[in-house]
Structure 1
Amino acid sequence: MSAFVKAARFVGDLDDEFYADELQRDAWNEASAVGFQSLLWIGLITGAVLPWAAGVTGAWVALGIFVALTSVSFVVLAYSRARGIDMYTSQEFRRARIAFAGVLTVLTGCGSMVRLLAHYGDGDLGPVAFGAAIGAPLGLAVAVVGIKMHQRRQRRIERAAEVAEQQAFDSDE
């Protein structure tokens, strides 16, 4: 068990005797999923509204909410991947709820950027252009690395499935 999984098990208190009962564990896992999704939706909606409703302070709070939600989401994805579940291969991402979440995320980012530029920018877009010149290639590089890692993981899973299938076939003969 990796250090990450051990730490996550500690944070989630997953070794508590409560989890020994299968029904309790399933109900708690579903309740946790509902709570996590509720937190995401509340955060996304709040983040999209705050820059417009609460000015500069709201824009900073919206960015903080976005960073917190993104961090928690990555922990959830990393833990599930460490346990053998890859959301990118087991879920259809072309759904209305995901598109809506994407729109809220863009609204959070754009609303915060517009509000903060209007307040701090003094019409000078030089720092923004500099940030974009650094951030865009960096973001692209991270995306490419992420895609390559995902493809490598997929090939590894497919190879393992082929080996298991071949072994099952060989043992039947």
Structure 2
Amino acid sequence: MMKAMRFVGDLDDDFYQDEHQRDVWNEASAVGLQGVFWAVFVSSAILPWVAGQTGAWISLALLITALFGSVLTIVYAIGRDVDAYLLSNYKRPRVVLSMALYLLAVVGIMVQLKFDTFQESSTWLGALAGGLVGAGMAIAAVKHRQQRSKRRDEAEEVL
């Protein structure tokens, strides 16, 4: 997978041999990626409410695409032994705002697509259980990464 991601990012190009160019390009890429995420979150939060069912489907596609890009970024970083979660602060205003936009988009999608099965209590219980399990797994994964990083740092200190 790392080879495929290196190919997608064209990371073996001569362009990356110059350290200044590489650093500036990496910063520019981070700014561009965050710009795309903000555009996706804002448009996904608005579309279901102003464009009905069509907007909800577009919003859902945008959120899935953003998730794909986010997962690729995180997997690549982890593959290079960088833990983005280690120093993450989820209380920052920009994180809270982006999550609020995301949740507004999800609620809009659910309202506009009016899934009939959401009226059944078993569906809501399943969604709640799935959300709790998913959140628990995410917390466990972050804790595991933090412990792994701590062990790696301790091992480096011994050397």
Deviation at 1:53, TM superposition (A): 1.1
RMSD of the alignment, in Å?
1.9
**1:64-75 maps to which residues of 2 (within 5 A)?**
64-75=61-72
Matched, 1:29 2:21: no
Matched, 1:107 2:104: yes
After TM superposition, the runs of 4+ consecutive aligned structure 1 residues lying more than 6 A away are none
Deviation at 1:41, TM superposition (A): 0.5
Deviation at 1:149, TM superposition (A): 2.7
Alignment deviations for residues 100-159 of structure 1 (CA, whole Å, 9 cap, x no partner): 001100110001111111xx64x9713xx4443333323322332232232222222222
**1:4-43 maps to which residues of 2 (within 5 A)?**
4-43=1-40
Deviation at 1:35, TM superposition (A): 0.9
Alignment deviations for residues 17-69 of structure 1 (CA, whole Å, 9 cap, x no partner): 11111111111111111110110001100000101111110011101111111
Cα distance in structure 1, aligned partners of 2:76 and 2:4: 10
Deviation at 1:92, TM superposition (A): 1.9
**1:68-147 maps to which residues of 2 (within 5 A)?**
68-117=65-114, 121=116, 125-126=119-120, 129-147=121-139
Q: In structure 1, list runs of 5 or more residues that go unmatched.
A: 168-173
Query: Secondary structure of 1:54's match?
Result: helix
Cα distance in structure 2, aligned partners of 1:65 and 1:132: 24
Q: In structure 2, list runs of 5 or more residues that go unmatched.
A: none
Alignment deviations for residues 67-124 of structure 1 (CA, whole Å, 9 cap, x no partner): 111111111111111111111112322100000001100110001111111xx64x97
Equivalent pairs counted in the alignment come to 159
Q: Which structure: larger Rg?
A: 1
Could you tell me which amino acid in structure 2 is paired with residue 83 of structure 1?
R
